[in-house]
Structure 1
Amino acid sequence: MTKGTILVIGSNGTQLEARGGGTITIGQFLNETAVPLMTLVAAGYDFVLATPTGEKPVMDKDSDALIYFAQDDEARTRARDFFNNDPGMNDVRTIRSMIDAGLDRFAGVFFPGGHAPIVDVMQDPDAGEVLRYFHSTNKPTAAICHGPISMLAALDNARAFRAALIDGDKVKAHALGKGWQYAGYRMTVFSRSEEEYAEENVFHKKLIFNMPDALEAAGAEVINADNFTSFVVVDRELITAQNPMSDHELAAKFVAALEKAA
């Protein structure tokens, strides 16, 4: 007997538009995926991984680095083995199929990080349907780093909202954000200054928009701590983490929320 099953909403994004043209190669972040899921499994939970296409997420190559594992190569190897070889990571479904089979069997939902969700999940109508279910049933909803951008999928017209962000049309984005189920929620996400560091030192390109601006345009109260330090915000059913260094704290608070909800 397990304590429950967690729905994991992954991304199929591998190329993100850059400001001024071109793309940035991205993916799902290793530690932001594996560490919370390994913690959930150790705590007695199962998980099902679903993506928009039903294909497995591609690992962001830049995330396979010791810096995200406190320079512990053994921890990185365990995470990499989990991402590559765990049966649950390789039996991937479509989000639509999970909705059609019934979401009531899931105890919570988790959105891993990496820049990938900016490409597809944040504007995916099926992801939006999942979010509306978990919000309406008050079941724990967790997201880390860029994962919180996925919460925007719950908007009535998430695709148009994303387009307005890219165009820099703040008035239109604000109008399209009205009625968002998370308006007024306190949450965190990869910060402006952390993103600037990534743009300058990793991508050498500018993103199409930053994450705090996007969430605030829809009505979130975004809170950030110091760059690259662990920081997690819990507001009602929503648990959000700021960056890769928040993986263990996010996992612990998600498990605590699941235990409380049970």
Structure 2
Amino acid sequence: MKKLTTLAASVVLAGISGAAYADNVLVVLSDADHLDLKNGQVFSTGFYLNELLQPVKLLLDAGHRVTFATPGGKAPTLDRSSVDKMYFNNDAAELERYQALLAQLKITSPEESPVISLTRAEQMGLDRFDALYIPGGHAPMQDLLASAPLGRVLTHFHEKGKTTALVCHGPIALLSTLPDANGFVGQLATKGQASAQSGWIYAGYKMTVISNQEEELAKGLLGGGAMKFYPQTALQQAGGQYSSNTSPWTSHVVMDRELITGQNPASALEVGQALVKRLKR
């Protein structure tokens, strides 16, 4: 009850009033604060500030409710490299406004975070949620891609045809619905490729995720390390119909049935706009 009360207070702090709509959006983040790389190296990461808050602010401004969750109910970690005005049209004042919103929502505070576990969200009843949003940062590559609770949550949204939006590295979470997500991910990590599995609920869906080209351009961020595999390759091998903007770091959003996916940080705002538009229907 304390966490739910804190969440309600966070929404008030964000300035929500006079809602024309009252949908409840489940926002799922990773529990992880790092990504395991090849050869035992580790990369400190988390969620990207703009990828989380640009869509969340649009949702709150439209009067929707937002419930934050992670697999284990831990406060998520902000990737400090994302606290940069380049993700906010090089506008320092805009960056400060989003930092203030993050502070108001308190989701990264271990003592005050309103974040619940995915198991708790299931106990509350997934029917109470009208849409799902998963932002990126490298952290989803650590845990969301094979999270059994997330697989169940995504399956519910798929079966009900409820809007499911993901951006940048976030779409890797779709792998959690594979019949053997751990086996598929293990093959990718050790062999660089994985055997196709029948029964993936997103097989044949048009989708995007951060491109292999962009991963190569950004690999300097890993401090000399290397990722075990790239999400584009993973989703393609799982059976997704991948597309990307050939001009790196520019917005690209793909919509197919209930699914909305965005390619990179520059796509977050457009993904949020598409999500809000869907809810207005």
If the length of structure 2 is used for normalisation, what is the TM-score?
Answer: 0.88
The residue aligned with 1:200 is 220
Cα 1:41/1:88, change in 2 over 3 Å = farther
Cα 1:201/1:15, change in 2 over 3 Å = closer
The residue aligned with 1:248 is 269
In structure 2, what residue type is equivalent to 1:167?
Answer: T
The residue aligned with 1:141 is 164
Aligned residues: 257
CA distance in 2, matches of 1:3, 1:174: 43
In structure 2, what residue type is equivalent to 1:142?
Answer: A
2:101 aligned with 1:78: no
Contact 1:48 1:88 in 2 (8 A): no
2:214 aligned with 1:214: no
Q: Could you tell me how far 1:248 is from its partner in structure 2?
A: 1.2
CA distance in 1, matches of 2:87, 2:106: 24
2:155 aligned with 1:132: yes
**Partner residue of 1:235 out of 248, 252, 256:** 256
**Partner residue of 1:23 out of 34, 37, 42:** 42
2:124 aligned with 1:118: no
CA distance in 2, matches of 1:84, 1:195: 30
Q: Which digits, 9 at most, give the CA deviation of each residue in 1:189-223, with x for residues without a partner?
A: 00001101111355432111001100011100110
CA distance in 2, matches of 1:243, 1:214: 16
CA distance in 1, matches of 2:106, 2:95: 18
Cα 1:120/1:202, change in 2 over 3 Å = closer
Q: Which digits, 9 at most, give the CA deviation of each residue in 1:124-154, with x for residues without a partner?
A: 1000000000000000000010000001111
Contact 1:240 1:250 in 2 (8 A): yes
> Where does structure 1 differ by over 4 angstroms across 4 or more consecutive aligned residues?
none
Q: Which digits, 9 at most, give the CA deviation of each residue in 1:52-73, with x for residues without a partner?
A: 1211110001100111111111
CA distance in 2, matches of 1:35, 1:26: 19
Contact 1:231 1:246 in 2 (8 A): yes
CA distance in 1, matches of 2:43, 2:106: 30
Cα 1:201/1:10, change in 2 over 3 Å = closer
Q: Could you tell me how far 1:87 is from its partner in structure 2?
A: 5.4
CA distance in 2, matches of 1:243, 1:174: 27
Q: Which digits, 9 at most, give the CA deviation of each residue in 1:82-125, with x for residues without a partner?
A: 22321577311000010111000111000011010111111110
CA distance in 2, matches of 1:258, 1:243: 23
Indicate the SS of the match to 1:20: helix
Q: Could you tell me how far 1:168 is from its partner in structure 2?
A: 1.7
Q: CA RMSD in A?
A: 1.4
Structure 1 unaligned regions, length at least 5: none
CA distance in 2, matches of 1:88, 1:258: 24
Structure 2 unaligned regions, length at least 5: 1-18
2:134 aligned with 1:97: no
**Partner residue of 1:7 out of 26, 32, 44:** 26
Contact 2:192 2:229 in 1 (8 A): no
State the percentage of identical aligned residues: 36
In structure 2, what residue type is equivalent to 1:230?
Answer: S
